Amino acid sequence: MDHRKVLINQLEDTFRAVFRQIRRDLQELFGDEINGSEFGFLKHLIENGPQKPSSLSVKLNVSASHVTNVTDALVRKGWIRRRRSSADKRVIELEITSEGIETCKRVEKNKVDYFRHKFDSLTTEEIETLQQLLQKLHKK
């Protein structure tokens, strides 16, 4: 096998190991309180305001049933509420509560701290290079 193929195979193994470790670390960081989908929904609602479930489905690229399941969990936790649209009473919108905002901000801070610590061993230049390389791969 030529050197390039060996490197690509090693890179694949490394990607898998790094992303698996990050996923495990984030699950541990979030604990039983919140999962990644719930966090993503809360963050989206903070950044974009109240949303129709169908809009969330499209914007987050998830199924309508996934939106329903996550919404139900977030409503039970008191982090979002369903409300009638003021523009059209037939439309239901999802709105984040103050408790949801507090939870999301706390989890976001923990996540930012985690990634800062994770990348402490890299120089700023290495982080810039890694970002450029990953963006280049993402565009393909």
Please report, to the nearest 10 degrees, the dihedral formed by the alpha carbons of residues 106, 109, 113, 116 taken in order. 160
Query: How many domains are contained in the chain?
Result: 2
In this prediction the pTM is: 0.82
Q: pLDDT band for position 90 (50/70/90)?
A: confident
pLDDT score recorded for residue 109 = 96
Same domain, 4 and 43: no
Domain ranges, residue 52: 33-139
Same domain, 126 and 110: yes
Reported as a single tens digit per residue, the pLDDT across 37-55 is: 999 999 999 999 999 999 9
Same domain, 54 and 105: yes
Same domain, 16 and 58: no
- Spatial distance between the Cα atoms of 29 and 20, rounded to a whole number of angstroms: 14
- Spatial distance between the Cα atoms of 46 and 65, rounded to a whole number of angstroms: 22
Does pLDDT of 140 surpass 90?
no
Same domain, 79 and 111: yes
Does pLDDT of 118 surpass 90?
yes
Same domain, 63 and 42: yes
Does pLDDT of 88 surpass 90?
no
